[in-house]
Amino acid sequence: MNLKTSLSGINFENPLMPASGPLVGDSEKMKIISNYGVGGMVTKTISKKGAEVVRPCIFGGSNFIMNTELWSEYDPKIWINEFLPEVKKEIDKPLIISVGYSKEDMEYLIPKLNKYADAFEISTHYVGKDLTTIKETLMTIKKHTKKPVYMKMSPHIPDPVGFAKMVVENGGNGIVAINSLGPAMKIDISSRKVLVGNTEGEVWTSGPAIKPMALALIHKIKKAIPQCEIIGVGGIASAEDVIEFLLSGASAVQMLSAAMLKGKDLYKKIIDDLPSTLEKYGFDSIEEVINTGLETGNVKYEPIYPAINYDKCVNCKLCENICPYFAISSIDEKVVVDTSKCFGCGLCESKCPKQAIENVF
């Protein structure tokens, strides 16, 4: 099975990379993550000075991470003189250097980082929503490098398509989408306090919980601007997720939060699972997934009623309890759908733990 993909002529053995964050916070960590077989490497975001990070800074929920981490806590000179030379010497795969944030930062950093980078990822998390400011940052970067440049889009950008269009029109190769959501908050009732947060008690949220938004934004951008290369990030936790992101419009993907929730060996598991998962869904390669169109717009307005597969049904009554239209009941230990009440919404089919409800989707 061919797992290879490419971005701006850079070849990757597989589409999965780590996302910028604590797991790639120095050269030692990057070597460990590289050994799980990822297709390329990404650094933690390097800025003009090391970040001062409040502690504790990370909270793990059932399907999300909340964090107050900023950019790298290390001075850029440590990256330039120690971490990056070691990474380039010992990790033989494409290196994307994450950099932030202002055009003044880029004037200082890009010339010093350029010889180590195969490509740059530019975080826009703390520079606001004004595309003019982001454009000036991009143009400053392009003055100092011929390497591919990908602008990382925060979900607070009001016009995602406009953001991507601006990037492509001003010499950027594409975007990384999406960054973590926020602000958010984690409250502990017993202590009557916020468990983790900045001085305002606020955090950023990432992980599987944000995947639906990431997929929608990537698809919207790729549909509007087909020539825009996209690195998908935001909720990947399985080989199936990788395929979904590629179908939505990405050419490669990044994962971080799920590896912090489930364990760092999740990188290896996903890569090991990709061949059989591609085969399961009828694909011969990653390239075929990327080139496959995603069907949308085939909407209906008349209800299609759920059908019960009684060979699978265990009469757990979940469908009865969750039905928002009170259309499902268990009569004589058998699930029955009242079509005079059923709206054809699909909730029951999507939630059935035994996949015993069919026909709606």
Please state, rounded to an integer, the average pLDDT across all residues of the chain. 97
Dihedral of CA atoms 69, 234, 352, 296 in degrees, nearest 10, equals 160
Judge contact between 7 and 252, C-beta under 8 A: yes
Q: How far apart are CA 125 and CA 144, in angstroms?
A: 22
pLDDT in tens, 230-266: 999 999 999 999 999 999 999 999 999 999 999 999 9
The CATH label, of 3.20.20.70, 3.40.50.300, 3.40.309.10, 1.20.1730.10, for the domain at 5-290 is 3.20.20.70
Considering only CA atoms, which of 183, 117, 126 is closest in space to residue 150? 117
Q: How far apart are CA 126 and CA 87, in angstroms?
A: 27
Task: Give residue 24's Cα distance to chain centre.
Answer: 16
Q: Cis bond leading into 208, ω under 30°?
A: no
pLDDT interval class at 36 (50, 70, 90) = very high
Task: Give residue 198's Cα distance to chain centre.
Answer: 23
Percentage of the residues of the chain whose pLDDT score is greater than 90: 97
Q: Residue 64 burial by CB count (10 A; 0-12/13-18/19+): exposed, middle or buried?
A: buried
Residue 155: its pLDDT value, please?
Answer: 78
In order of 1, 17, 80, 81, 116, the CA distances from 110 in angstroms are 37, 22, 11, 14, 10
Asked whether residue 211 carries a pLDDT value surpassing 90, the answer given is: yes
Classify domain 307-358 by CATH architecture. 2-Layer Sandwich (3.30)
Domain ranges of the chain: 5-290, 307-358
pLDDT in tens, 58-99: 999 999 999 999 999 999 999 999 999 999 999 999 999 999
Q: Given this chain, do its domains 5-290 and 307-358 carry the same CATH topology?
A: no
Considering only CA atoms, which of 357, 358, 345 is closest in space to residue 318? 357
